[in-house]
Amino acid sequence: QSALTQPASVSGSPGQSITLSCTGTSSDVGSYNLVSWYQQHPGKAPKLMIYEGSKRPSGVSNRFSGSKSGNTASLTISGLQAEDEADYYCCSYAGSSTYVFGTGTKVTVL
Amino acid sequence: EVQLVESGGGLVQPGRSLRLSCAASGFTFDDYAMHWVRQAPGKGLEWVSGISWNSGSIVYADSVKGRFTISRDNAKNSLYLQMNSLRAEDMALYYCAKDSDSYGYGWHDYWGQGTLVTVSS
């Protein structure tokens, strides 16, 4: 149950696109199409942004998109906005009804 | 509107016990698996435990196995976490989260605001 690996920080200017990575193993990310991404603003609860690797819940901006290749999942934020500044966590189903979260990435809008 | 409201957190001495509760509303509680996820101060999210819709499947992270017990009361739309033998490293904000699936084969689509557990002598 080791945490998925995410870069500690990623930054970009308004309007730019950034991509956050999430690296797991063949026992979690690589085995299931059940990677989800969460946005967390300071002092707030996490919010679901992407599920099943690339699907967006109702109400989430289409500027957020997800993908997966092998043991690595990615979240791309296009047209970066000030409100996107937050912590982002990936999460993968890891078998037997267990889950593993990523280490988290702090997104800074310059 | 889905609502998850945690309670029961507080200050507890190492080695003591605490029971967290999560009151759910706005959805058919007994249709979905539920989870506890924690976040230590300034740290990332850690999945703690999950329970299927009918309590038939219960799982724990290795870090809490043997010390924590998850349970649910579908008649009361409530989720619980009994925490025994608490350690300093258990200090965290504990979130209740709804699964998108009945058996815990999905994602965490709704979260509560969390209840803070402080472990200190």
Q: pLDDT of A6-63, one tens digit each?
A: 999 999 999 999 999 999 999 999 999 999 999 999 999 999 999 999 999 999 999 9
Cβ-based contacts under 8 A for chains A and B: 70
**Mean pLDDT, residues B26-42:** 97
Nearest CA in chain B to A100: B47
Q: Which residue type, as a one-letter code, is found at position A73?
A: A
For chain B, give the percent of residues with pLDDT over 70.
100
Contact A98 B59 (CB under 8 A): yes
- Bridge partners of B22, per DSSP, are B6, B79
Nearest by CB to residue A46, choosing from B45, B52, B105, is B45
- Average pLDDT for residues B92-109, to the nearest whole number? 95
> Residue B16: which H helix or E strand, with range?
none
State residue A14's pLDDT score. Answer: 97
| Beta-carbon separation of B47 and A101 below 8 A | yes
Residue A60 sits at the chain B interface (C-beta within 8 Å): no
Dihedral angle, C-alpha B12, B13, B16, B19, nearest 10 °? 10
**Of A33, A34, A71, A65, nearest in space to A49 by CA:** A65
What is the reported pLDDT for B57? 95
Among A34, A51, A89, select the one facing B44 at the smallest CB separation.
Answer: A89
Partner-chain contact A38 B100, CB within 8 Å:
no
A60, burial (CB in 10 Å: exposed 0-12, middle 13-18, buried 19+): middle
pLDDT digits (tens, 9 = 90+) for B49-96: 999 999 999 999 999 999 999 999 999 999 999 999 999 999 999 999
Closest residue of B to A44, CA-based?
Answer: B113
The answer to whether residue A89 neighbours chain B at the CB level (below 8 Å) is yes
Identify the pLDDT of residue A1: 76
Q: Kindly state the tokens that stand for A73.
A: 């999942």
| Nearest residue in chain B measured CA to CA from A46 | B111
What pLDDT is stored for residue B69 in this prediction?
A: 98
> Average pLDDT in the B92-106 region?
95
What is the rounded average pLDDT for all residues in chain B? 97
